[in-house]
Amino acid sequence: MANILVIDDDFEIRQLLAQHAKEMNHNTAIAESLADGLEVAGLQSFDLIFLDVRLPDGNGLDALPKFRQKPQEPEVIIITGVGDAEGAELAIKSGAWDYIQKPFSKGEIMLQISRALDFRAKKTAVRKVSLKRDKVIGNSPQLVYCLDQVALCADSDTNVLITGETGTGKELFAQTIHDNSSRDNAEFIVVDCAALPNNLIESILFGHVKGAFTSADRDQVGLVKQADGGTLFLDEVGELPLSIQKTFLRTLQEKKFRPVGSSREIESDFRLISATNRDLDAMVKEGIFRKDLFFRLRTFHIDLPPLRKRHRDVKELTLHFMFRICEHHRIKTKGFVPEFLELLAAYHWPGNVRELINTLENAIISDPENPTLYTMHLPDEIRIRHAQASVALKRRPNNADYTAGAENESGLYFSGLLESNLPMQDFREKIISASEIQYLKHLMAVTQNNVKQACRISGLSSSRLYALLRKYGIPVKQK
């Protein structure tokens, strides 16, 4: 028996989905809006959520990550009356189980419920496997999902492709897969494809025999053979020259290759993990990466999230690396003021975890005798962006009267946010928050703090209205 939440403003849809779930002996709850849905999801644990796209108080797709980030991490099925390709892509990339369009049949809904809950049960079982993940820091839902993927593929010999922006920890995840595999006692061989010289690439990968070329004064074992029994990690695989891709594809398929200058083939039983920050799909279309090799590399795919999408991990990462950096430089462990961490958590980190580490190291060694880190120890770029965002926030309208002046203030606030170059999600949330504040202040002003009248005008329940007023610190003067 599972707990299922249905969030839809259409009464008939809510009742229909709830009825189908009940017929399968599952517990159901319903909500008419995003606010109510988030409130219910915060009070009760759910295994599966049906989430409508167009709701009275917002877009379900925008709120999808909030539901997925609940402690129980429910599966979410997006339901929509008007489907579109971009919406489907956004839903799937945000972690939705599926994206289905109304109207739907009873059989379709029951199959979706059955499949999603079956997947969830198996995923939970996988999580019970104890992973060696000492070097993977963080517990955000986005990171935990990637670790679940590691648990799924680690103890097999399937090829794995790890994608993600520079600095997201692709090599670290490759090492984690190796450490949790049956090959963990053998070698983990790293090949930096971006650093391979074109004239020596075959020799480095496959080795050579003495006399194969002018400087070959002895036999040399290649990296592919060194990975025999273990794992071969091709970092920046998108940089692998087209001229060598066909040769490597055969090696990957046959696990045999011929060293440069040799007349015989040798074998190597290696497990392949590759990583790239490039779009291999686009490279295939451009003809600069072989399609057959691409499909072989991407048997199992793990896409690592950038740090800006897992801000919850910033504090844990900061504490971990501060200790390591201080220990490495033989400096007493430092503390920091709250604002220091606030700036780190608010920054968008284009260089991801690697940039965070460099930033912390620079802050620590720039003032080694100071036991406390302040915002002044951070790079100008981080402090400037924070200052710009603060200025933009202070332009937010705070007049209870909904006047032309308030509208002008709102326009200034909008422009200020644009100038601060925030990530899209942060920009959207700040705009929504500013609009809600302006609306609520106007609402309470025109109703002269009459809560009953304010609820009637806004369509909000009294509990929801009070919650929003508390959230934004708007006082209610009882009449």
Same domain, 299 and 427: no
pLDDT recorded at residue 225: 96
pLDDT recorded at residue 401: 42
Hey, which residues does 280 pair with through a beta bridge?
none
Same domain, 255 and 335: no
In the chain, the percentage of residues whose pLDDT exceeds 70 is 89
Residue 478 belongs to a domain: no
Does 397 have pLDDT greater than 50?
no
- CATH label of the domain that carries residue 330: 1.10.8.60
Please provide residue 336's backbone torsions phi and psi, each rounded to the nearest 5 degrees: -150, 155
For the chain, how many structural domains are there in total? 4
The DSSP call for residue 260 is B
**What's the average model confidence in pLDDT over 393-400?**
49
Most confident segment among 39-43, 79-83, 221-225, 307-311: 221-225
pLDDT recorded at residue 438: 81
Q: In which domain, by residue range, is 392 found?
A: 387-471
Evaluate whether 60 touches 34 at the Cβ level (below 8 Å): yes
- Would you place residue 286 in the very low, low, confident or very high pLDDT band (cuts 50, 70, 90)? very high
Tokens representing 210 are 């003495």
Residue 245 belongs to a domain: yes
Most confident segment among 20-24, 207-211, 416-420, 438-442: 20-24
Same domain, 262 and 321: no
Same domain, 321 and 300: no
Boundary-marking domain end, from 271, 305, 339: 305
**What's the average model confidence in pLDDT over 118-132?**
70
Residue 173 belongs to a domain: yes
pLDDT recorded at residue 219: 87
pLDDT recorded at residue 394: 56
**What's the average model confidence in pLDDT over 316-338?**
94
Same domain, 352 and 268: no
Boundary-marking domain end, from 305, 332, 357: 305
Tokens representing 396 are 């937010």
Same domain, 263 and 325: no
pLDDT recorded at residue 391: 65
Alpha helices in 180-215 (DSSP H): 201-206
Distance CA 474, CA 470 (A): 6
Boundary-marking domain end, from 305, 338, 368: 305
Distance CA 37, CA 43 (A): 10
pLDDT recorded at residue 126: 56
Its pTM stands at 0.68
Residue 191 belongs to a domain: yes
Same domain, 345 and 239: no
Same domain, 169 and 296: yes
Same domain, 205 and 295: yes
Residue 272 belongs to a domain: yes
pLDDT recorded at residue 402: 39
pLDDT recorded at residue 461: 73
Same domain, 152 and 301: yes
Tens-place pLDDT, residues 452-466: 888 777 777 777 787
Q: Which residues of 438-467 are buried (b: 16+ CB within 10 A; e: fewer)?
A: bebbbbbeebeeebeebbeebebeeebbee
Length of the chain: 479
Residue 440 belongs to a domain: yes
Most confident segment among 145-159, 225-239, 457-471: 225-239
Distance CA 471, CA 53 (A): 24
- CATH label of the domain that carries residue 24: 3.40.50.2300
Within 13 Å of residue 364, how many CA atoms lie on the same side as its CB? Answer: 23
| Residue scoring higher pLDDT (352 or 394) | 352
- Range in 377-381, 390-394, 451-455 with the lowest mean pLDDT: 390-394
**What's the average model confidence in pLDDT over 237-244?**
93
Residue 369 belongs to a domain: yes
| Residue scoring higher pLDDT (90 or 194) | 194
Same domain, 121 and 154: no
Does 398 have pLDDT greater than 50?
no
